[in-house]
Chains A and B, each alone.
Chain A
Amino acid sequence: MAQSRPLSPHLQVYRPQLTSVLSITHRVTGVFLSLGTLLLVCWLVSLAAGPDAYARAHVFFAGWLMRVLLFAWSASLFYHLCNGIRHLFWDAGCGFDIPTVYASGYAVLIATAVLTLATWIAA
């Protein structure tokens, strides 16, 4: 069905703000994490395949490019986790007023940074 009528929203006319940026980041990190499940499958299958395959996977995961990807993956996981909890509170009908939305948004960013750094310091 051809739809030539103008469709909202015209995202390019809006100035980015914390609320909209965090919203699209939730979706982007969700897609990125879904791709990251391939790494989880790689790791589990290599362990099931035996010591040689696991040693190869170990080398694969130890490379610097893989380390950068794993860092991005862990940051995405913590962001999606924290912001997901924020979404669950909204689903329960809590925290809809603008000051709370901004406060919880900043809290998500701080929690993501703290959890990601703590994980890599511990690892």
Chain B
Amino acid sequence: MMNMNLRSDLGRVRGLGSAKGGTHHWWMQRLTAVALVPLCLWFVAAVVYLAGADYTSAAAWMRSPWHAALLLALIVTLFYHAQLGIQVVLEDYIHVEWVKVTAVVALRFAAILLGLMAALAVLRVYLGA
């Protein structure tokens, strides 16, 4: 019988091949990149505006719903984009399988944790605690 699968039997047995997640990874990296263009430009302008600002004026700035919402959008997109990018770097340069997998998982946990810390800080200032 004709085998229509072009992958080798050895490759199939070893579980090599597509993880079926490549397109999603690629697309999310582009989607977050497009979102980060205006968000980063806005953030740089905000940092320039806030440079040298004291606590009161910086906190007052962050209590604006627009500023808080844009900051939260920036945080989510930024950490998502960074995690996707660093993951590819790790996958390219780490050749020991278990070290690579551990590093990619640790990276994702770190990105989520740092993103949560940043988001909670914005919310705390915004909600005026």
Contact = CB atoms under 8 A, between A and B. Distances in A.
**Interface size band for A:** 20 to 34
B44 A41 contact: no
Could you tell me the dominant secondary structure of chain B's interface residues?
helix
Contacts of A77: 40, 44
B37 A85 contact: yes
Contacts of A47: 55, 58-59, 62, 121, 125
Interface residues of B, number: 34
Contacts, number: 76
B6 interface: no
Interface string A90-123: 0100000000000000000000000000010011
B86 interface: yes
Given A47-B62, A47-B125, A41 B117 contact: yes
Interface in A40-95: 40-41, 44-45, 47-48, 50-51, 54-55, 58, 74, 77, 81, 84-85, 87-88, 91
Interface of A: 27, 30-31, 33-34, 37-38, 40-41, 44-45, 47-48, 50-51, 54-55, 58, 74, 77, 81, 84-85, 87-88, 91, 119, 122-123
